[in-house]
Every structure is written in structure tokens, then in C-alpha cells.
């Protein structure tokens, strides 16, 4: 049974096998958590991202973590929120699923996710957190991952994840 928990703070400081980036389809960096990850990992990260030649929305690509404490970065591209009728839910779930697939392919045991799409991309936080937790619960055991941290950068995000995870034992 995997452990799922809400962790306050900055994902660039988390020592896990892989951290997940909330990237865009170019994979060439941006603001928010993407900017923070590129700054902390160093310029080698951008060079490694270029090799992928972009990433489709709902998919994720892997690079090394370079100067980060995490060994790997999975660059996931969440959907831009429009009105909920443009496959936003499915595309967001697909990001989490693809990251767990990458973790299985690399034989990883721990992974940390930010709240993908809930910043600049405008996905409603409650709805996104529910999708994140449900999708991870559904797929984590098949992935071999034993520890999942949902890293919450702000108080509101931490409150939502703590509420959704906290009413039950923090296991999948
Ligand atoms: N650690 C953990 N979470 C963070 C950090 C951090 N260091 N910094 C911000 N967050 P966002 P999106 C939180 O906007 O909505 C970029 O330009 C933030 O508070 O980073 O998927 C990309 O290149 C929020 O809860 O990602 C794309 O163009 C969450 O991370 C676009 O933004 C996601 O916010 C992606 O937008």
C-alpha cells in the first residue's frame, strides 16, 4: 500500500526519486513551478528538455534532475482550463497516469507532484485535487511507487489536499 501525503513547500527542495513539473507543450520553461524547477536544476535541464521536441497536453516526458535533490524530473503538460467541456478532466488525469507509468518504467519508489494546472492554467483547485488524488490512488500500486507527496506551495492548496487526504488514512 503506497503512502499519499500533502507536503507544504517548494518542490525543488524535495528529495524523492522524481519530481513532476507543470510544464507547457514546448518544454522550454516558463513561470510558476516550471520556472522554479529550471532555476534550481541549472541550464542543463533546458538542454535535456530540447531533445524531446515538445510534449502533448496530457502526456509527460522524463529528464534527469541535474542540480536538484530529485534524480529525475517528469515534465507533465496539464490542460489550460476553459469551461470544463474541453476534456480538461481527462487530460489532467492523463498527466498523473503518465507520470506513474514513467515511474514504473524507471523502477522508482517515490514521486512528488505539484498541483498541475491550478496556477497559470486556471483549473479549479478543488476539482483538480480530487482528480489528482483519485487518479494516483487508482494507479499507484501497479506502478510500484511506495510514497507520493502532493507538494502544496500555498496555504489554500495545502488545505484542500489535507482535507481530501486527511479524512481517510493517508494510504492508497
Ligand atoms: N513548488 C511547488 N509548487 C509550486 C511552486 C514550487 N516551487 N511554484 C508554484 N507552485 P503553475 P500550471 C504551484 O502556474 O497552472 C508555466 O509557465 C502553484 O502555486 O506553476 O500547470 C508553465 O510553463 C500552483 O499550485 O502551473 C506553463 O506555461 C501549481 O504549482 C504554465 O505555467 C501549478 O501552478 C503551467 O501552468
Q: Which domains does the chain have, with CATH numbers?
A: 3-165 (3.40.220.10)
Q: How many residues does the chain have?
A: 172
End-to-end CA distance of the chain: 6
Q: What is the whole-number distance in angstroms between the Cα of residue 140 and the centre of ligand 1? A: 23
Q: Given ligand 1 and candidates 13, 114, 128, which is best to mutate, with the most ligand atoms within 8 Å of its CB?
A: 114
- Annotated catalytic sites, by residue? 34
Q: In the prediction, which pLDDT does 1 show?
A: 86
Q: What are the mean pLDDT values of the chain's consecutive 10-residue runs (172 residues total)?
A: 96 98 98 98 98 98 98 99 98 99 98 99 98 98 98 98 75 44
Packing angle of the helix pair 125-143, 88-105 (nearest 10 deg): 30
> What distance in angstroms lies between residue 153's CA and the mean position of ligand 1's atoms?
9
pLDDT value at position 171? 44
Amino acid at each position: 500500500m503506497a503512502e499519499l501525503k500533502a507536503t507544504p513547500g517548494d518542490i525543488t527542495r524535495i528529495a524523492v526519486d522524481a519530481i513532476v513539473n507543470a510544464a507547457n507543450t514546448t518544454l522550454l520553461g516558463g513561470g510558476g513551478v516550471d520556472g522554479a524547477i529550471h532555476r534550481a536544476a541549472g541550464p542543463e535541464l533546458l538542454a535535456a528538455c530540447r531533445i524531446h521536441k515538445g510534449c502533448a497536453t496530457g502526456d509527460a516526458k522524463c529528464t534527469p534532475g541535474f542540480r536538484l535533490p530529485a534524480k529525475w524530473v517528469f515534465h507533465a503538460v496539464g490542460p489550460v482550463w476553459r469551461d470544463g467541456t474541453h476534456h480538461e478532466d481527462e487530460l489532467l488525469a492523463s498527466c498523473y497516469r503518465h507520470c506513474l507509468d514513467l515511474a514504473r518504467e524507471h523502477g522508482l519508489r517515490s514521486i512528488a507532484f505539484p498541483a498541475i494546472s491550478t496556477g497559470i492554467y486556471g483549473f479549479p483547485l478543488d476539482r483538480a485535487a480530487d482528480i489528482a488524488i483519485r487518479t494516483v490512488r487508482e494507479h499507484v500500486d501497479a506502478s510500484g511507487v511506495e510514497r507520493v507527496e502532493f507538494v502544496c506551495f500555498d496555504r489554500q492548496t495545502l488545505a484542500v489536499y489535507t482535507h481530501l487526504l486527511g479524512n481517510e488514512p493517508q494510504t492508497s
